[in-house]
Chains A and B, each alone.
Chain A
Amino acid sequence: MTPTSTSRWPGLLRYAVLFAGALLFLFPFYYMLIGSLQSEPDTSVAGAFPTGGLTLDNYRDINSRVDLLGSLVNSGIFTGGVILGTVVFGVLAGYALARLRFRGRGTLFALVLLVQVIPFQLLLIPLYVLIVRGYGLADSYLGMILPFAINTTAVFVFRQFFLQLPDDLFAAARIDGAGELRVLWSVALPLVRPALLTAVLLTFIGPWNEFLWPFLITKQADMQPLAVSLANYISNVAARAANPYGAVLAGACVLAAPAVGLFVAFQRHFISTDIGSGVKG
């Protein structure tokens, strides 16, 4: 509130609008949960605020049609692989680009900027042809992970983190005789740890929620991440189930819960302005 807007009304109005908007934004999530607990779909207005009769049958139902545990394990392996690659290779490349002078650094950095503007749509078909037909990686974790194994935005964000550290620290460590990996591990990484957590949390969202790529390359049900299994259920079998929406919403809750849970638990890290400045690259 600026000092001159002395009237309380603009402030109250702002809160009223923001709260109304927030409830509108949260309502689908509430409705997802309620719908997943109703044995019969009740789409009347009263049905959105049930007073009883909630069951876990829909979770049992979706679990009998989609192997929830297996799909979650696939989602976990896919997400874990992407996070591991993004952090390990991203930190190495980001550190090298920020703090080390070597031949080809300028070229590589130009490529970092260039790669950020190449949209995935253009690569979709050739990557499919190469990975599925060329390398035979259909229905494999490696095939799922490969296109996301290093994230250019992450490289750029890590470079920004390392650039912000004072030069003297590095000079001191090198005078003490530390090699570059040692400097990176013992000096640079501990200083950027909070930013590292933000990067890991942000990286988590991508593969956990990714649908199109794993959908393209996994045809075997036992290799599909939950997003793909659930989407296939929505488009193929939902019409034949007794309470299709209940089962879909139960699956949706299982898919949404880990990302939403992590986000709420660590929201401070998501909401830091680092993200905005990192993305601006």
Chain B
Amino acid sequence: MSTADTVAAPTTGAATRGPRPAGRGRVAAVLGRHPVGMVLAAPYAVFIAVVFAYPLGFAVWMSFHDYFFAAPGAAVDRPFVGLDNYRAVLADPGVRQSFRNIGVFLVINVPLTTVLALLLAVALNRVVHARTFLRVAFYVPYVTASVAVVGVWLFLFNADGLVNSVLGPLAPDPSWLVNAGLAMPVIAVFVVWKQLGFFILLYLAALQNVPKELYESASVDGAGWWRRFRSVTVPAVRPATALVVILATITGANLFTEPYLLTGGGGPNGASASPVLVMYQRGIQQGQPDVAAAIGVLLVLGVLLISLVNRRLIERD
């Protein structure tokens, strides 16, 4: 069945519908009532196979083999090495540090994102005046390229940047982005600022679905603002909260651009290196794609684990 048949159908379609029910029935039994759907969906199905399914399998396969870059077309032996790549990854202090770093990042970034996004969404939801201005202000960092806004943050948090000239003697020494204890927290705050608009939007959508009667009856019962927020809003947007936590975790686990540019490749001494940055360094710069694939598998397993725990916690009551 090609698309040309269906395009041509209008001239005869209605007239031939009567005489052909038997043939149609047989086709429908095998291909479904609208076989043309297969043609329309085919590019997407091929795309999933080529860009997701095959590379996914390839990543896992690579992580269990001694895989290295060779000249195109060269026949090389890539023996199965079991868990060797994983052992190499777990023994590598740089990799272990990058996982600790991302832990620091998530511990700061995810709660801050969730709390600020919910509070700002609740406040914005009730706003009547200057609504557009306020929403645009919070959403603009999200639509702007990381590379562009990283430029300003470098300028702001530089040793003699504006932030330090405001702080004067309170400025940290060594300065923000070259301080082993502060580099990762600055990146975590940067990403909160960058992504917050998107999460505010998710919460605003969720708040549309909270029944007004709940607030009214809570008010009648004498509940104050905080009480209504805790007993009505927070439980009502719980599915959105689960989504925000999971998406913020995934965004955090994908961290690359910020440590690469803000801290000159994950400095100082790897204190802000993220696992994806280490994947890039090991896999592409140092030519160990098998080790990099193993880092990828471990990172994804970690994200899945956090997502499951999060689900359990949020769906518990």
Residues of A within 8 A of B (CB): 1-5, 10, 14-15, 17-19, 21-23, 25-26, 28-29, 31-32, 35, 41, 43-45, 47-48, 89-90, 92-93, 95-97, 99-105, 108, 111, 115, 118-130, 133, 136, 146-147, 149-150, 152, 155, 174-182, 184, 205, 208-209, 211-212, 216, 227, 230-231, 234-235, 245, 248-249, 251-253, 255-256, 259-260, 263-264, 267, 270-271, 273, 275-277, 279-280
Compute how far the CA of A182 lies from the CA of B11 in the bound complex, rounded to whole angstroms: 12
* Cβ–Cβ contact A115 & B32, under 8 A: no
* Cβ–Cβ contact B3 & A181, under 8 A: yes
Total residue contacts A-B, CB cutoff 8 A: 344
Across the interface, which residues of B come within 8 angstroms of A234, CB to CB?
A: 147, 150-151, 154, 261
Within 8 Å by CB of A101, from B9, B33, B196, B220, lies B33
Across the interface, which residues of A come within 8 angstroms of B219, CB to CB?
A: 2-5
Interface residues of B in 28-42 (CB under 8 A from A): 30-38, 40-41
Compute how far the CA of A174 lies from the CA of B34 in the bound complex, rounded to whole angstroms: 12
Residues of B within 8 A of A (CB): 3, 5-14, 30-38, 40-41, 43-45, 47-48, 51-52, 54-56, 58-59, 62, 69, 72, 120, 123-124, 126-130, 132-141, 143-156, 158, 160-162, 164-166, 193, 196, 201-202, 204-206, 208, 215-216, 219-220, 225, 228, 243, 250, 253-254, 256-257, 260-261, 264-265, 275-276, 279-280, 283-284, 289, 292-293, 296-297, 299-300, 303
In addition to A25-B193, A235-B260, A273-B205, 11 A-B residue pairs with Cβ atoms within 8 Å of each other are A32-B152, A101-B33, A102-B31, A104-B41, A121-B276, A129-B69, A249-B151, A252-B151, A256-B149, A271-B139, A276-B202
Chain A nearest Cβ from B307, distance in angstroms: 8
* Cβ–Cβ contact A32 & B31, under 8 A: no
Across the interface, which residues of A come within 8 angstroms of B133, CB to CB?
A: 22
Compute how far the CA of A277 lies from the CA of B240 in the bound complex, rounded to whole angstroms: 10
Across the interface, which residues of B come within 8 angstroms of A19, CB to CB?
A: 130, 134
* Cβ–Cβ contact B14 & A175, under 8 A: yes
Given A108-B44, A150-B43, residue A276 in contact with residue B127 (CB < 8 A): no
Across the interface, which residues of B come within 8 angstroms of A205, CB to CB?
A: 143
* Cβ–Cβ contact A146 & B51, under 8 A: yes
Q: Which residue of A lies closest to B124 (CB)?
A: A18
Within 8 Å by CB of B41, from A93, A119, A280, lies A93
* Cβ–Cβ contact B161 & A92, under 8 A: no
* Cβ–Cβ contact B62 & A126, under 8 A: yes
Q: Which residue of A lies closest to B137 (CB)?
A: A22
* Cβ–Cβ contact B134 & A22, under 8 A: yes
Within 8 Å by CB of B165, from A17, A45, A127, A181, lies A45
Chain A nearest Cβ from B45, distance in angstroms: 6
Compute how far the CA of A248 lies from the CA of B134 in the bound complex, rounded to whole angstroms: 28
Chain A nearest Cβ from B31, distance in angstroms: 5
